[in-house]
Amino acid sequence: MATNVAVPRLSDSTPAGAERRGEGRGAPDRRARPPAFAAIDLGTNNCRMLIGVPSGGGFHVLDSFSRVVRLGEGLYRTGMLSDAAMDRAIEALSICADRQRRWQVSATRAIATEACRQAENGHAFIARARTETGLPIETISPREEICLAMESCASLITQAERRALLFDIGGGSTEIAWVRVPAAHGGSDRVTPQLIGYHTIPVGVVTLSERCAGWCETEAGFAGVVDEVKALLRPFEETHRISQEIRMGGVRLVGTSGTVTTIAGIALNLDRYRRGAIDGTVLPHDVVAAGLESIRAMGRARLTEHPCIGADRVDFVLPGCAIFAAIEEMWPAADLAVADRGLREGMLMRLIRNARSRPRRCQA
């Protein structure tokens, strides 16, 4: 049976489906609430934002936004961000900028990831985005990216007995973190997981969907992609001997990506995607394997119609499943902790922690 752990969740102040539609409620009087913070993540495929206020040991979400912008569209072929893709991203970032001004946030962190790291014109695009939106957007390193994911998933990582293998299957790259759980953690999410090592591979769902379009729909093509990804992961395995650690026990896989949450939704037979039923769920290996096989057996038409997938994500599902299958074959842990959270949540938690650590000025 799946086990739920206590984790921060999207609050009721965000209407159902609002993040997908890009909607939000009007901002109340700032004097009636704690200071708000904004976190914006511009990825290879999506632009996402969370605005939240401190609440207990976490945060309460005031507003959220997500839009498919396909910033990395064509990047694999040309090495450049296209004009159309940059325009879509700027439009989405402008909405984020308007929303964070409306909420009168105290601090904003805005980041870009693999598409801007890879593109020859990535720096020029970031400069343009800063000028046109006023956002302090910056391109972060793979290490910073995995550290933010670790921060948001700390409560899941510390549920492991000894070690955790955290992975994030993105649009343009996949990040892996090998993490030590302090011995005297007692299941507490207040203990800081310790990064042993990290690895990034330039393979994500967008790059695979463009480079291997249709391959993953066949048995031979899917197996070929899995083998290619495993070859990219093998140096990390040879360095850290993770498979040996898994055989010793006490190691948990922790996955944070749309691929992982989709597999979980299918494995749990959800009639529609519900974050509360997915985030923090721990699935046994056989349940995960059954979900993966169900997705592969559906065919494109059924994948498009499935409420946990949809037409805007159907191109990326099987490439993502191939990356996941490579990770799972390389490191076959007993179970998988599923995280519907990532860089935005990690940024918000850091912003809030930094604000709390600053000395307060005396009032005149």
How far apart, in whole angstroms, are the C-alpha atoms of residue 201 and residue 230?
10
What is the mean predicted confidence (pLDDT) over 300-312? 84
Percent of the chain with pLDDT over 90: 70
Q: How far is CA 308 from the centre of its chain?
A: 16
How far apart, in whole angstroms, are the C-alpha atoms of residue 297 and residue 237?
30
Instruction: For the chain, count helices (H), then strands (E).
Output: 16, 11
How far apart, in whole angstroms, are the C-alpha atoms of residue 277 and residue 135?
34
What is the mean predicted confidence (pLDDT) over 191-197? 90
Q: How far is CA 314 from the centre of its chain?
A: 18
180 or 357: which leads in pLDDT? 180
Nearest residue to 7 via CA among 276, 288, 355 = 276
Radius of gyration of the chain (CA): 20
The top-scoring range by mean pLDDT among 27-41, 56-70, 221-235, 296-310 is 221-235
What is the mean predicted confidence (pLDDT) over 238-264? 94
Q: In what order do the strands lie in the sheet with 174-180?
A: 194-201, 174-180, 163-169, 251-256, 335-339, 282-284
Q: How much is the pLDDT for 274?
A: 86
Pairing of β 46-55 and β 137-139: unpaired
Least confident of 16-20, 64-68, 159-163: 16-20
Residue 98, pLDDT > 70, answer yes
Q: Which residues contact 227 (CB under 8 A, 6 or more apart)?
A: 326
Q: What count of other Cβ atoms lies within 10 Å of the Cβ of residue 213?
A: 11
Work out the pLDDT band at 346, boundaries 50, 70, 90: very high
Q: How much is the pLDDT for 333?
A: 93
Structural domains in the chain, CATH included, are 18-141 (3.30.420.40), 154-340 (3.30.420.150)
CB 159 within 8 A of CB 121: no
- pTM for this prediction: 0.85
How far apart, in whole angstroms, are the C-alpha atoms of residue 29 and residue 216?
51
What is the mean predicted confidence (pLDDT) over 221-238? 96
